[in-house]
Chain A
């Protein structure tokens, strides 16, 4: 694939461009950037392009074009639908393959020799929260809301959220967020050290760009070396998370939880 061809790409789920040393990845798949097979394909293409930029870049900003939020996580409807069309063993293999692929993408973003900034707004749940945690900095719109709701389905976060949350927070906070599955606002996220800046509604991308411009003033090699030193990637725990997720996924309670979520006409599917 020619890297020149992939700068400035627009896909169904996301688009990206490189301008003045800043790569901007904008998510735009309604209703709330749920990550299914289409998004994963495009994330993989993006990760490939990120490793082959034709011009130097010092920052990557990931944001959402949707008012509904940054990303509501995995596409549970697609996950349930697909799991119903195959036997349990095949479904589980498919889930593991999906997780391994999304992990590769997030590891590329996590380790990228750029400063990565998630500019988040609205719902930043599950896999969306995990995408933000793979970045170096999170700039949050004051209406952003974070959550790991996986326990509500009998699962744990599967896109690397637990090791990355543990990397950033004390264990008491990790237990609170994961074991209650509650959502929390941007101010709380900043208080516990996850969010770097809380900004006005609609301002996250603008502030992320200003932050990226500031970062662009510093020596790149020093920034890359510092980042490698500051931000270890918990590879072993990430692999363990995939194993535990797959073990839990095979339980009938998970299928029941997914079915309930997918078939619900409740006004409150995002509330516990």
Chain B
């Protein structure tokens, strides 16, 4: 099974592509709402992409209080 760091790398890569920002602009502990300037509708889009990529189901209430990629990776890792 892949490590949380690998999951984190994939999330950062996916977010960079989805929101069309350079990968190097994103770091694990960034507040993604502020860094990406996204709202909750766009977060749901990202969630859909992540669920499809990792083949998991992640209830959106698991995202309560989650604002950084590292914590998000932990949530996804727990479902792999």
Contacts and interface: CB of A to CB of B under 8 A. Distances in A.
Contacts of A188: 57
Given A268-B40, A270-B44, A271-B63, A185 B33 contact: no
Q: How large is the interface on A (under 10, 10 to 19, 20 to 34, 35 or more residues)?
A: 20 to 34
Contact of A267 (B33, B59, B61): B33
A173 B40 CA distance: 25
B41 to A, nearest CB: 6
B43 A271 contact: yes
A271 B43 CA distance: 9
B64 interface: yes
A184 to B, nearest CB: 7
Nearest to B48: A185
Given A142-B52, A185-B48, A267-B33, A32 B60 contact: no
A197 interface: no
Contact of A269 (B33, B40, B45, B59): B40
B5 interface: no
A69 interface: yes
Contact of B57 (A32, A142, A184, A270): A184
Contact of A123 (B33, B41, B51): B41
A269 B52 CA distance: 23
Contact of B61 (A32, A269, A272): A272
B24 interface: no
Interface string A127-149: 00000000000000011010100
Interface of A: 32, 68-69, 122-123, 142-143, 145, 147, 180-188, 266-272
